[in-house]
A and B are shown apart, each in its own frame.
Chain A
């Protein structure tokens, strides 16, 4: 069925259809609407979720971890500082192998405090052991959230899943959306029936040991293997989802990449802007394309390398600043992925859009202009630059 919803509404609606057992709720801009909409569903008796209005994001994640361990399906939503406050617990959720689902509405991190979009919050959590799936728009935010549980809860995976969308740009903009019937959603998600859980009658469960050196490393290897196993499961779930929705998802989306010589690698809503720029350049005869990373964890390194193998110059666009002095996190992953190619394209990193700094089609066209120049001359120039900031010097 068709509707018009904001990204936050779309995720809240997905939550209503799923009717999870427990929600840990705490407000933070721009994700606040998710627990707000959901609270109304609870108040109206449309769901019978145990809705726990905690005193911090730290506690919302703590509630989710414990509820999931107890045998419940637990969810929460957050942004920015909220995710940062959960930092320690994100590791605990993953290392205890508890498939909690979290809707992250991406927002810049302090300081200075800023409520607008970039990816510094979830990128800061990229090594916590969570599966991370990013949306370009409302439709994807809804679809990704529906796919999260079948991915995370699979016994061979058992990892928490963070579905991300861009704050305000996606979370608050109302767009057309195709929603699935609730019955179809429930059948797709299925029941959560873990083999062992705290409330199980037949045998107790002990969770969260003190792990000494002779065991810790082995447990981390188990976790790392689960993250590897997640890749195949994500694709499997995407195939199942296509059957009920007609919408196809992969680890990333390739846009006009068939014969592309110049390409962008980016994440999230900027893809919409960039696709318009690609279309315009294609009309001008430029062989431009883009790759929108959907799944950042597990990182689709080999697949990305194959997709970029025939390009000449690639710009990675990082919507977060990692302060490595060597480029952003997406750049680090992409450059690493390309290392195994026999012939590698030229690669640059552009950090952009921090704290809600706007990016327009003209900005993207300029990036392609730079790539065209690099491809033609072989002169790569500065590898790691910022875009969109005021400067005394001309910038990218």
Chain B
């Protein structure tokens, strides 16, 4: 079995999967799109009512939810689009200029 984590641009053809198949779920998670950010959301936990309205609006699944609480952003995948800030009824998210360092 060939795993996505072992495939990169230096992998010889003998070690790639035939037909470009992938045999695992969600390997895109390995890829950092956080570097794309030019704006970064800041999560104000104290203001958050955990209404979850921001979660389904995230195109990058970068708002983790656990035990009824939304957690801080997954900055490895957040691209900083700012939709979440706009849909938050409680000003619990503010966008700041610049790409914050990735986790």
A interface, CB within 8 angstroms of B: 95-98, 158, 196, 203-209, 211, 214-215, 217-219, 221-223, 226
- Using CB atoms and an 8 Å cutoff, list the residues of chain B in contact with chain A: 9, 11-13, 16, 18-25
Q: Closest residue to A204 on the B side, CB-wise? A: B25
A-B contact pairs, 22 of them (CB 8 A): A95-B19, A97-B18, A98-B19, A196-B21, A204-B24, A205-B22, A205-B23, A206-B21, A208-B20, A209-B20, A215-B16, A218-B12, A218-B13, A218-B16, A219-B16, A219-B18, A219-B20, A221-B13, A222-B13, A223-B18, A223-B19, A226-B18
Highest count of chain B CB atoms <10 Å: which of A208, A218, A221: A218
B31 to chain A, nearest CB (A): 13
Q: Which residues of A contact B13 (CB under 8 A)?
A: 217-219, 221-222
| List of B residues within 8 angstroms of A96 by Cβ | 19-21
Given known A219-B16, A222-B16, contact A214–B9 (CB-CB < 8 A): yes
B-chain residues with CB within 8 Å of residue A219 when the two chains form the complex: 13, 16, 18-20
Write out the residue numbers on chain A whose beta carbons fall within 8 Å of the beta carbon of B11.
218
For residue B19, which residues in chain A have a CB less than 8 angstroms away from its CB?
Answer: 95-98, 158, 207, 219, 222-223
Q: How far in angstroms is the closest Cβ of chain B from A42?
A: 30
Partner of A222, one of B18, B24, B25: B18
Contact yes or no, B23 A203, CB < 8 A: yes
How far, in whole Å, are A219 and B11 apart by their CA atoms in the complex? 11
Query: Which residues from B are CB-within-8-Å of A98?
Result: 19
Closest residue of chain A to B22 (Cβ to Cβ) is A206
| Chain A hits for B16, CB < 8 A | 215, 218-219, 222
Q: Are B24 and A203 in contact (CB under 8 A)?
A: yes
A223 to B18, CA, bound (A): 8
In the complex, the chain B residue whose C-beta lies closest to that of A214 is B9
The reply to whether B18 and A209 contact each other, CB–CB distance below 8 Å, is no
Q: State A208–B21 Cα separation when bound (angstroms).
A: 7
> Are A211 and B20 interface neighbours, CB within 8 A?
yes
B20–A215 contact, CB under 8 A? yes
Which residues on the A side are within 8 Å of B25 (C-beta)?
A: 203-204
Q: How far is the CA of A97 from the CA of B18 in the complex (A)?
A: 7
Which B residue sits closest to A97, measured CB to CB? Answer: B19
Please give, as numbers and ranges, the residues of chain A lying within 8 Å of B9 by CB-CB distance.
Answer: 214-215
- Min CB–CB distance A91 → chain B (angstroms): 12
A96 to B16, CA, bound (A): 13
Interface contact A207-B21, CB-CB below 8 Å: yes
How far is A222 from B7 in the complex, measured between Cα atoms in Å?
Answer: 15
A215 to B22 Cα, complex, angstroms = 13
- Bound-state CA distance A97–B9 (Å) is 21
Q: Which residues of B sit under 8 angstroms from A204, Cβ to Cβ?
A: 23-25
- The distance from the CB of A147 to the nearest CB of chain B, in whole angstroms, is 22
Q: What residue in chain B is nearest A206 (Cβ atoms)?
A: B22
Question: In the complex, A209 Cα to B17 Cα: how many Å?
Answer: 11
Q: How far is the CA of A348 from the CA of B22 in the complex (A)?
A: 48
A63, B22: Cα distance in complex, Å: 21
Beta-carbon contact of B20 and A196 below 8 Å: no
Given A207-B21, A223-B19; 18 other pairs, CB 8 A cutoff: A95-B19, A97-B19, A97-B21, A204-B23, A204-B25, A205-B22, A205-B23, A206-B21, A208-B20, A215-B16, A218-B11, A218-B13, A218-B16, A219-B19, A222-B13, A222-B18, A222-B19, A223-B18
- The complex places the Cα of A220 from the Cα of B23 at a distance, in Å, of 19
Which 9 pairs between the two chains have the least Cβ-Cβ distance?
A: A218-B13, A97-B19, A214-B9, A206-B22, A209-B20, A96-B19, A221-B13, A97-B18, A218-B16
